[in-house]
């Protein structure tokens, strides 16, 4: 039985919808004027826009080692590339190597074994100073010879021994985000911060919001110039950060643009990211105004002759609601609010 209501509010798809008041169903008469619609089969989706920041992602600190003072420093934005110097100590270049193990001892004699040896060999091979060895993590005459040739080409003093402080090990290519040290500071300590070269969008979200997002989710990024760029979620932080302004703690969702050129005009900019929160394919749907709230609970659709057909509701999106139930089919005419 339909409930006479002044207004019924339904929550769905991030919006509130008003349902028209209904009285007991009566048979339609030739003089009655009814607004009707047809049940349609369609795709429903809903989305939300969330603010984010386009940039190069989180920066990490790069530290110097060894003795001496800083005599040359890079500029913000400078590329960090294997084989090139990043800064200078006592006017000697500190060269970039890629890897995960900082150089913690001198590589100066055969027989040394460890991940640092393997890392030195890998970098020299990549720079064109080829070495061959049955065991890549053991120093041998071939490796020491390659070290000497490389150091001579760079003009390093006393070539033949690679010492801590002559190279800085980073995880891969990047860019200088900012310099934290000053000329004349001790070499041993924080020197600069670097980021990757890939631009990403950092989106702060509540833990509840982030719980609806998955790595791989496709999104659309709205840029300050009015253009849009396709992207996808590539990371979701596991750490909930505290907010200084009393807001709920946030996690960071990282979005990577699908095409780097699409965001090439900006190094850093506020953006908005469109997340599709609900998506249903090939479902029956009607305008929300076609729903009739029943006294016993649930909803129905009313046909022009006044009869009611029970309807189970699903997704609400764009003023439409997904419906299902016996007797419901695409093309069926039902009564709705004008």
Domain ranges (residues) in the chain: 8-46+279-335, 49-56+198-277, 60-195
Give the C-alpha distances (Å, rounded to integers) separating 268 from 14, 74, 200, 202. Answer: 30, 20, 10, 11
- Confidence (pLDDT) at 14: 37
**Which CATH architecture describes the domain 49-56+198-277?**
Beta Barrel (2.40)
With 0-12 / 13-18 / 19 or more C-beta atoms within 10 angstroms meaning exposed / middle / buried, residue 52 is buried
Here the tokens at position 281 are: 């394919």
3-class SS string, 275-294: EEEEEEEEEEEEEHHHEEEE
Residue 9: pLDDT above 80? Answer: no
Rounded distance, CA 126 to CA 271, Å? 38
Q: How many residues in the chain? A: 338
Average pLDDT over all residues of the chain: 88
- Confidence (pLDDT) at 226: 95
Q: Tell me the CATH number for domain 8-46+279-335.
A: 2.40.420.20
Here the tokens at position 235 are: 């990371």
Residue 10: pLDDT above 70? Answer: no
**What proportion of the chain, given as a percentage, has pLDDT over 70?**
88
**What proportion of the chain, given as a percentage, has pLDDT over 90?**
73
Q: Are 125 and 99 in contact (CB under 8 A)?
A: no
When pLDDT is cut at 50, 70 and 90, the band that residue 338 belongs to is: confident
The verdict on pTM exceeding 0.85 is no
Q: Are 153 and 95 in contact (CB under 8 A)?
A: no
Over residues 279-317, the pLDDT tens digits come to 788 999 999 999 999 988 999 999 999 999 999 998 888
When pLDDT is cut at 50, 70 and 90, the band that residue 32 belongs to is: low
Per DSSP, the three-state class of 320 is strand
- Confidence (pLDDT) at 246: 60
- Confidence (pLDDT) at 5: 35
Over residues 111-150, the pLDDT tens digits come to 999 999 999 999 999 999 999 898 999 999 999 999 999 9
Rounded distance, CA 306 to CA 295, Å? 16
Q: Are 282 and 45 in contact (CB under 8 A)?
A: no
Residue 26: pLDDT above 80? Answer: no
Per DSSP, the three-state class of 250 is strand
Residue 23: pLDDT above 50? Answer: no
Side-chain half-sphere exposure of 290, counting CA atoms within 13 A: 30
- Confidence (pLDDT) at 321: 92
Q: Which helix (H) or strand (E) holds 150?
A: helix 141-154
Q: Are 303 and 309 in contact (CB under 8 A)?
A: yes
């Amino acid at each position: 039985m339909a409930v006479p209501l002044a207004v019924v509010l339904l929550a769905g798809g991030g919006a509130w919808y008003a349902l028209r008041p209904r009285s007991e169903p009566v048979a339609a008469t030739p003089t009655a004027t009814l607004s009707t619609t047809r049940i349609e089969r369609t795709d429903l989706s809903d989305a939300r826009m969330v603010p984010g920041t386009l940039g190069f992602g989180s920066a990490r600190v790069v530290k110097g080692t060894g003795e001496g003072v800083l005599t040359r420093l890079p500029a913000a934005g400078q590329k960090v590339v294997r084989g090139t110097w990043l800064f200078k100590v006592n006017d000697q270049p500190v060269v970039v190597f890629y890897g995960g193990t900082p150089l913690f001892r001198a590589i100066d004699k055969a027989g040394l074994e460890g991940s640092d040896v393997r890392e030195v060999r890998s970098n020299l091979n990549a720079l064109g100073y080829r070495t061959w060895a049955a065991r890549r993590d053991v120093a041998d005459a071939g490796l020491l010879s390659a070290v000497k040739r490389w150091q001579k080409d760079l003009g390093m003093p006393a070539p033949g021994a690679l010492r801590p402080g002559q190279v800085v090990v980073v995880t891969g290519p990047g860019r200088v985000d900012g310099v934290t040290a000053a000329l004349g500071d001790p070499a041993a300590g924080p020197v600069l911060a670097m980021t990757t070269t890939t631009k990403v969008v950092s989106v702060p979200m509540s833990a509840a919001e982030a719980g609806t997002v998955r790595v791989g989710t496709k999104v659309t990024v709205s840029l300050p110039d009015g253009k849009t760029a396709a992207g996808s979620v590539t990371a979701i932080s596991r750490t909930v950060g505290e907010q200084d302004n009393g807001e709920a703690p946030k996690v960071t969702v990282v979005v990577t643009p699908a095409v780097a050129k699409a965001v090439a005009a900006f190094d850093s900019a506020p953006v908005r990211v469109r997340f599709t929160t609900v998506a249903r394919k090939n479902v029956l749907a009607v305008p929300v105004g076609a729903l009739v709230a029943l006294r016993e609970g649930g909803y129905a659709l009313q046909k022009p002759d006044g009869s009611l057909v029970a309807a189970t509701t699903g997704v609400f999106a764009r003023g439409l609601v997904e419906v299902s139930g016996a007797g419901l089919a695409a093309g069926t005419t039902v009564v709705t609010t004008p």
